[in-house]
Structure 1
Amino acid sequence: MAETGMAAGNALMHLDRLAQKALALWDLPAGARARLINVAENTTWLVEAPGGFRAVLRIHRENYHSPRAIASELAWMDALQRDAIIEVPRAIPGRNGQPLQTCTTDGQQPPRHLVLFHFINGTHPSESGDLTAGFERLGTIAAKMHLHALDWPRPEGFERLIWDDAAVFSPQATWGNWRDAPHVSPALRPVLETAERTIRHRLAVYGNDPSRYGLIHADMRLANLLEEGNITRVIDFDDCGFGWFLYDFAAAISFIEIDPAIPALKAAWLRGYRRVRALPAQDEAEIDTFIMLRRMALLAWIGSHLDAPEPQAMAPHFAAGTARLAQEWLAAQRR
């Protein structure tokens, strides 16, 4: 159930107390304090101390990732950094030598999982104007990460989310049922139901051969890149998991799927991708299916995350936009 008003405010007050208390779990400079900078799946806090120290604290959402899943995320990030694939934030071990910590405060149960990351420099690429150059870089980065995922020997017990059609459409869908999202009216449901059936059929035919399906970032938007000079760094691996490689493009255009610039951004992403990894025409032909799959997942996400500002702002129009995208996509399948 979504939290609003006073309930949401109380939750953030508890999390603020938790963040300040948890800092003692790490060997930090005197005077370190945490300041909330983002509320999404988790809450993210900028930790600062006199003398210029900075780090980023992530307090995990309750009942979203297990400790093993968080450790698996950190293992892949470590491997990407060690193998010089891409620069990523590094976790800071706590006083007990472990990167994953747990902490609680009075009035907040059960304990929350926390990870503290080294602060990395850089600015987010502009999300206004011509985005093709940024998407070309995104495609190159995605291809490098996919090649690494194909060859990397995962640690025993590796556990991450799965981003397949069942994760979006089954009764146990990761982000809930899209039918429960705001403004999914009886008038919109038929086209969305048809889109779901068509997506599931196409993906069953497409299959999950290892050349197409593996470990992905699953949220590789421009907002999750940091640029400094000619260096591009990738952040926020919280959603990384197993899915189709081309889902990474669909995730890159999250929330802007109906923008007229999408065909140009797709072409740019593919150019960047093919500089590093071959992509057969059959795979390219299925990209729009993944765009539709991701959009349906985001519709469910909005419905199950109305305690956060971003989904609140998008909720009034997102269902109608999703239905319009579905109509256009279904019409393309008939041509």
Structure 2
Amino acid sequence: MVVVDPAAAAELAREALPSYGFAADAELRLLKHRENVVFATTHGDREYVVRVHRSGYRSDAELDCELDFVQALRGEGVAVPTFLRTDDGRAFCRVGAEHPAGIHQVDVQDLLVNTGNFGDERTAVDGTADLPAEDFFELGRLAAELHAATERSGYLPSVPRGDWDLEGLVGAEPAWGDPLRMAELVGDDRAAVEAAIARIREDLERYGRPVGRFGPIHADLTPENVLRTPAGLVLIDFDDFAAGWHLFDLATAIYFFTPHPRAAEYRAALFAGYESVRPLTPADHEAFPAILLARGLTYLGWAADRRGESTAEWHATTVLPYVVRLSRELVA
């Protein structure tokens, strides 16, 4: 998987613009350069987002499935982006056949008027994020609306997308890589994580996957993927959506706030918001620590395969101790 530099991404985006009836020389303003490269542009009197997907991350069928899922959620009233169709009705276009960077997928969506993201991972971990508990209540409510919408609609992914199930989280080949490959995990810390992985398997096998606990989820509900808008919070970036435990979305929403001084308050508000739409059972609360740790382990697996990148090094040096702490707590 390759993320192109912004200059090359802008060239690819310009190649896609005419497919949406936009001028190829329209101004592009860089919004984000991470896994995908995202630009803002203007057409007529409206603002749009142009997203250049990282090469090789999703097949055309998988991306079609992702955008179909977002459309289904929007049809059920969930606060998600609105995607445009190309002039010939496609959900995205493929460009770059003659570009040095090669073929890339590009989609276009309405630009959401927002006052910024819900927060960011680093200020959540270092404790400087100053968010009202009401924000977490609203986020919990929105996550519950997403899960309720998938149940009402009966939506199922049209193609396999690598489920966030037991094997995807803590199997022999986890979806995001093996956390035990982190060189910093040695001695008693490594033993604690290994014991916790075994405990996760026990807890989640017992928890099971009955209706109401497992189904299509966002799967990447980090602070960066929640926007504040005049109409309320909106979920963006469904790159990693697939079937998983509903609790996984709650775990992702609160995971980076685990070290925060207000972590208990934020978690209580998140759960209260969720339960204002969908009730949780004692079994849900009992399973949550295992799913929270499983979420943390996915990030270590991700970082283990990207050593040298700034975010991977941050996970290795700053976040890893909290994963070890959660491991010890789970098996205590």
Deviation of 1:155 after TM superposition, in Å, equals 6.3
Show the counterpart of 1:28. 22
Q: Deviations 1:40-60 (Å, cap 9, x if unpaired)?
A: 3x3232232476543212222
Alignment pair present for 1:103 and 2:95: yes
Q: Deviations 1:176-201 (Å, cap 9, x if unpaired)?
A: 11122352334532111111111011
Q: Deviations 1:198-239 (Å, cap 9, x if unpaired)?
A: 101110111111221111111223432223334332211112
Q: In the superposition, relative to structure 1, how do residues 240 and 131 fare at CA in structure 2: closer, same or farther (>3 Å)?
A: farther
Q: Deviations 1:22-41 (Å, cap 9, x if unpaired)?
A: 3333211464133432233x
Q: Contact 2:139 / 2:233 at 8 angstroms: preserved in 1?
A: no
| Structure 1: 5+ residue stretches without partners | none
- In structure 2, distance between residues paired with 1:50 and 1:205: 53
Give the TM-score normalised by the residue count of structure 2. Answer: 0.87
Show the counterpart of 1:71. 64
- In structure 2, distance between residues paired with 1:63 and 1:30: 25
Q: In the superposition, relative to structure 1, how do residues 259 and 330 fare at CA in structure 2: closer, same or farther (>3 Å)?
A: farther
- In structure 2, distance between residues paired with 1:190 and 1:99: 47
Q: Quick check: 31-40 or 114-123, which moved more?
A: 31-40
Out of 96, 109, 114, the residue aligned to residue 122 of structure 1 is: 114
Out of 43, 66, 71, the residue aligned to residue 36 of structure 2 is: 43
Secondary structure of the 1:70 match is helix
Secondary structure of the 2:28 match is strand
Q: In the superposition, relative to structure 1, how do residues 63 and 136 fare at CA in structure 2: closer, same or farther (>3 Å)?
A: same
Percent identity reads 25
Show the counterpart of 1:287. 288
- In structure 1, distance between residues paired with 2:57 and 2:225: 20
Q: Deviations 1:113-142 (Å, cap 9, x if unpaired)?
A: 222111111223654224411110111111
Q: How many residues align?
A: 322
Q: Contact 2:136 / 2:270 at 8 angstroms: preserved in 1?
A: yes
Q: In the superposition, relative to structure 1, how do residues 211 and 113 fare at CA in structure 2: closer, same or farther (>3 Å)?
A: same
Q: Contact 1:20 / 1:33 at 8 angstroms: preserved in 2?
A: no
Letter in 2 for 1:79: A
Alignment pair present for 1:193 and 2:194: yes
| Structure 2: 5+ residue stretches without partners | 120-128
Show the counterpart of 1:151. 152
Deviation of 1:112 after TM superposition, in Å, equals 1.7
Show the counterpart of 1:205. 206
Deviation of 1:65 after TM superposition, in Å, equals 1.7
- In structure 2, distance between residues paired with 1:288 and 1:87: 28
- In structure 1, distance between residues paired with 2:216 and 2:20: 30
Letter in 2 for 1:241: A
Letter in 1 for 2:54: R
Q: In the superposition, relative to structure 1, how do residues 259 and 165 fare at CA in structure 2: closer, same or farther (>3 Å)?
A: farther
Letter in 2 for 1:82: G
Show the counterpart of 1:265. 266
- In structure 2, distance between residues paired with 1:126 and 1:243: 23
Q: Over the residues paired in the alignment, what is the CA RMSD in angstroms? A: 2.6
Secondary structure of the 1:176 match is coil
- In structure 1, distance between residues paired with 2:304 and 2:256: 14
Q: In the superposition, relative to structure 1, how do residues 51 and 232 fare at CA in structure 2: closer, same or farther (>3 Å)?
A: same
Alignment pair present for 1:60 and 2:47: no
Q: In the superposition, relative to structure 1, how do residues 245 and 50 fare at CA in structure 2: closer, same or farther (>3 Å)?
A: closer
Out of 8, 27, 36, the residue aligned to residue 14 of structure 1 is: 8
Letter in 1 for 2:269: A
Q: In the superposition, relative to structure 1, how do residues 235 and 156 fare at CA in structure 2: closer, same or farther (>3 Å)?
A: closer
Letter in 1 for 2:321: A
Q: In the superposition, relative to structure 1, how do residues 208 and 235 fare at CA in structure 2: closer, same or farther (>3 Å)?
A: same
Deviation of 1:13 after TM superposition, in Å, equals 4.5
- In structure 1, distance between residues paired with 2:320 and 2:299: 10
Give the TM-score normalised by the residue count of structure 1. Answer: 0.86
